[in-house]
Amino acid sequence: IVHRDIKPDNILVTKAGKIQLMDFGASLLESAPKITTASLAAALGTPDYMSPEQVEGQRGDVRSDVYSLGAMMFELLTGQPPYHGDNALAVMAQHVQSSPASIRKKNRQVGTPLEEVVFKAMRRDPELRYQSMMELHRDLTNLGSVDASRLGAERARVSSSTNNGASDTTIWSRSVPAWAMVVVVAIAAIAVGTLLIAR
């Protein structure tokens, strides 16, 4: 199942502390051949978290959900969505044309590995993102093993080829603070839940 509308409003934390993904009104089976007219409006998603391919009217796949989760992580770590605009169309256009600004410039407590994981989840080209929620979950729960320098170099190459990259590609060495690890664990739980639903 491809959810296609992952956003904070669709994440529920129960009294028992379990994290659940809600509202499958825009979802599709990965094997579904196309978006029907009846589901087109729901399929559009939410501008702040839409993947570039959704903006362009494509049906998307699990990598679209990876992008949306990356956009949500960006907001959790910086306090604001990755893109801003005067209206929904302006925000949607930035998902297609721009790359997110440096997370560390907005929040210096965030370590480079976590920043690079978010940036990889938000690559504009689906082929360059994490290819599954399991891949994203693996890096989120093993930040100490993430090769941030390699991911940063990949991002720099993509930025150079498009001439429109993130403003900061410097690699720092910094441990992830305790509060950030709490965020990581929460997001990882969401990723695992989405993966289990997809199965």
Enumerate the active-site residues: 5
Cβ pair 44, 89 in contact under 8 A: no
Alpha helices in the chain (DSSP H): 40-43, 52-55, 62-78, 88-97, 103-106, 112-121, 133-140, 148-162, 178-198
Distance from CA of residue 149 to its chain's centroid? 20
Residues with Cβ within 8 Å of residue 140, at least 6 apart in sequence: 117, 184, 187, 188, 191
The H or E element containing residue 20 is: strand 19-21
DSSP code of residue 124: S
Q: What is the C-alpha end-to-end distance of the chain, expressed in Å? A: 8
Cβ pair 54, 64 in contact under 8 A: yes
Cβ pair 130, 69 in contact under 8 A: no
